[in-house]
Structure 1
Amino acid sequence: MTQPTSPLQSPLELVNTSKFFKGKAAVKNVSFSARKGEILGFLGPNGAGKSTSLRMALGVISPDEGEALLFGEKPNLVNLRRVGFLPEERGLYRKMTARAIISYYGRLKGMDRKASLTRADEMLTRFGLGDHLKTKISDLSKGMAQKVQILSTLVHQPDLIILDEPFSGLDPVNQQDLETLIREEHARGATVIFSTHIMEQAESLCDRLVIIGQGEKRFDGTIDEAMSLIPEHADISTEGTFDLKAALCTTRFQISSDKTDELGHHWRIDLSHGERAQDVLRAAIEAGAPITSFTPHRAKLRDVFVSLVDKEELCSDVQLADKETCT
């Protein structure tokens, strides 16, 4: 089913791509590539240009500037057979059965009828739909139908898997099933790109991230590189009038007084030079600090995302907006 890919060849690459609708730029000079065998998270708020970028990559729409490449070539009928694409807009033939629709998608990608039906049966049974092989899509629950569409995307074991907002609308159990499926596809060697604005899935699954906002690329790198944009910090509270900043003045720790109340002083220590939270605690103990509490804080991917995306953009996204960010 699949063809060999050079170790140096990117399954997907956008080079200085831009797309305009009615004179307005939906994507502005965006470049990124998916490396063979990685899980790439493509992150951004609603309307940031994620779906437009993916459609250009697949040749669904043409870039107005720059170029899109699949396996080193422009999208064509041959290299598109190596791709499994789950669009954001879901849609299945409602009068077909779950088994038939998965087989149909497999045959569109070059599988013969017998192999596609066998694969459909295996996938439906593996992911809890074995009792619904001959159930029409119209008679399935919304979550079951969405699972069938995901399986249809993967039936031909594609080299490149592109999932546009795959977790949207799934309950926690089916989200976990999808995470398992993504990991299994990755383990067999597939390159996976998924577009999302659900940070938890991106943080747990991705090798690398591309973050876009208002059609422009804001970040391209590993999870660790993303996390390093917001240093860790620790909070320490001390009794009485003890001055932790003065006690640790000879260290590299960046210490500021957060507040003072009847319980004593509360200090914030920014760890921007590669220090660890336990290093701060050890230094404070050695300095004789009367510590009443110690709390280390590691940045979450959501914090990085908020720092890179414009506030106005972020607060139009109902899945990310909250009072603290948007007021």
Structure 2
Amino acid sequence: SMKVGEQCLYLAQLKGMSKQEAKKQLKYWFEKFEIETWWDKKLQELSKGMAQKVQFIVTVLHNPKLLILDEPFSGFDPVNANLIKDEIIELNKKGTSIIFSTHRMESVEEMCDYIALIHKSNKLIEGKLEDVKRKFRTNTFQVGVMTQNVEALMYQLTQKFTIGQTDFKSLNDDLKLEVQLGNHSSNELLSILSQNGQVTHFAEKIPSVNDIFIQTVTE
């Protein structure tokens, strides 16, 4: 039947903080997360999301040098998930090393500098995120073009490039194509497109961590 505030103080002192310093830090975090009214609540009154927010505070209270987080965003709505994410990034900027375990590839994409992909206890990939992405790039571009001249455009493109269908969000009624450059340059592709219509979308299809995960595990 211990209250939230008492439990937090107890755990902070176990981490070597003085009661005075713990109270000061807890006041700061409870105000930051706008949960001052939770101090006198009983632990069993908290929902999963509420309990996880308190757990996060107790975990980072003493400014640890190393932080290990396992799925830290589960149980949070988007606003609170974003709040926690910003605090994790801030801790990292201040010098905390963070090991982050997750199945949510968008979190890896957004937050991690260095990754290891583990499948059935085997490490399949390891390295800087940008180096891993570079290794999996395929020199492929997604393009969108507004044209009255589809046949002529397709003829010119297929002379040089491998063309496939693709889909992406667009506000235009444009022709959407996936183009593998092969030995040709992106400038050559852009030139053909612009000569035959109005280019509305032109971007390299850089593999996401999700794509890399699926491709690696499937193979």
Per the normalisation by structure 2, the TM-score is 0.79
Q: Equivalent residue for 1:37?
A: none
Q: Give, in whole Å, the separation in 2 of the partners of 1:186 and 1:272.
A: 40
Contact 2:157 2:192 in 1 (8 A): no
Q: Equivalent residue for 2:196?
A: 289
Comparing both structures, which one devotes a greater share of its residues to helix?
2
Residue correspondence of structure 1 range 70-81 to structure 2 within 5 A: none
TM-aligned CA distance change 1:120 to 1:266, over 3 Å: closer
Task: Provide the alpha-carbon RMSD of the alignment.
Answer: 3.0
- Distance apart, 1:151 and its partner CA: 0.9
Total equivalences in the alignment: 205
Contact 1:121 1:133 in 2 (8 A): no
Contact 1:100 1:117 in 2 (8 A): no
Query: Residue type matched to 1:241 in 2?
Result: E
Residue correspondence of structure 1 range 42-191 to structure 2 within 5 A: 95-191=1-97
Contact 1:210 1:221 in 2 (8 A): yes
Three-state SS of the structure 2 residue aligned to 1:170 is coil
Q: Give, in whole Å, the separation in 1 of the partners of 2:184 and 2:81.
A: 35
Higher relative contact order (CA 8 A, sep 6+): 1
- Distance apart, 1:133 and its partner CA: 1.6
How many percent of aligned residue pairs carry the same amino acid?
28
For structure 1, the residue ranges without an aligned partner over 5 or more in a row are: 1-94, 250-254, 260-264, 312-327
186-195 vs 266-275, greater mean Cα deviation: 266-275
- Distance apart, 1:109 and its partner CA: 1.5
TM-aligned CA distance change 1:164 to 1:245, over 3 Å: same
Comparing both structures, which one devotes a greater share of its residues to strand?
1
Q: From 149, 156, 160, give the equivalent of 1:244.
A: 156
TM-aligned CA distance change 1:272 to 1:197, over 3 Å: farther
- Distance apart, 1:240 and its partner CA: 4.2
Query: Residue type matched to 1:113 in 2?
Result: K
- Distance apart, 1:183 and its partner CA: 1.2
Per the normalisation by structure 1, the TM-score is 0.55
Contact 1:234 1:269 in 2 (8 A): yes
- Distance apart, 1:293 and its partner CA: 6.2
Q: Equivalent residue for 1:302?
A: 210
Q: Give, in whole Å, the separation in 1 of the partners of 2:110 and 2:188.
A: 28
Q: Give, in whole Å, the separation in 1 of the partners of 2:58 and 2:78.
A: 21
Q: Give, in whole Å, the separation in 2 of the partners of 1:131 and 1:191.
A: 32
Q: Give, in whole Å, the separation in 2 of the partners of 1:299 and 1:119.
A: 42
Contact 2:193 2:199 in 1 (8 A): no
Q: Give, in whole Å, the separation in 1 of the partners of 2:33 and 2:199.
A: 50
For structure 2, the residue ranges without an aligned partner over 5 or more in a row are: 166-174
